[in-house]
């Protein structure tokens, strides 16, 4: 009996991860966030809640909160495009330390 060659685990792990990730509006926004807003903004702000299409974004500083408020309509469009559906209607930006220990 011949042994089969080793099979990479990456495919199985990715499939398992897809099954385990939560199916909530916030999870969808968090998955799309970095691609939609870019790495610079993603390093300074993170989505923390979604309610009735309004995404609350916690920003590292008041300056970033103001900047993202001004960019809000454009970012909403990018988020919806990244998620492939019209789920987000508005961004609500706040300043304050997040779970990243800022």
pLDDT tens-digit readout, 6-62:
878 888 887 777 677 667 899 999 999 999 999 999 999 999 999 999 999 999 999
Residue 18 in domain:
no
**Host domain of residue 27:** 23-95
- Asked if residue 70 is part of any domain, the answer here is yes
Tell whether 62 is covered by a domain: yes
User: What span, in angstroms and rounded, lies between the C-alpha atoms of 1 and 14?
Assistant: 30
- The whole-number pLDDT of residue 13 equals 80
Number of domains composing the chain? 1
pTM listed for this prediction: 0.74
Please state whether 71 falls in left (phi above 0), alpha (psi between -120 and 50) or beta. Answer: alpha
Q: Is 43 part of a structural domain of the chain?
A: yes
Which CATH number goes with the domain that contains 74? 3.30.300
How much is the pLDDT for 98? 59
Asked, for residue 10, whether it belongs to a domain, the answer is no
């Amino acid at each position: 009996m011949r042994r089969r060659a080793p099979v990479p685990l990456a495919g199985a792990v990715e499939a398992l991860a897809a099954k385990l990730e939560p199916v909530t509006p916030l999870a969808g926004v968090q998955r799309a966030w970095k691609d939609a807003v870019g790495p610079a903004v993603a390093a300074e702000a993170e989505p923390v809640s979604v309610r009735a299409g309004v995404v609350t974004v916690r920003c590292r500083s008041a300056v970033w909160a103001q900047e993202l408020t001004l960019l809000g309509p454009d970012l909403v469009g990018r988020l919806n495009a990244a998620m492939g559906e019209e789920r987000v209607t508005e961004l609500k930006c706040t300043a304050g330390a997040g779970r990243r220990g800022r």
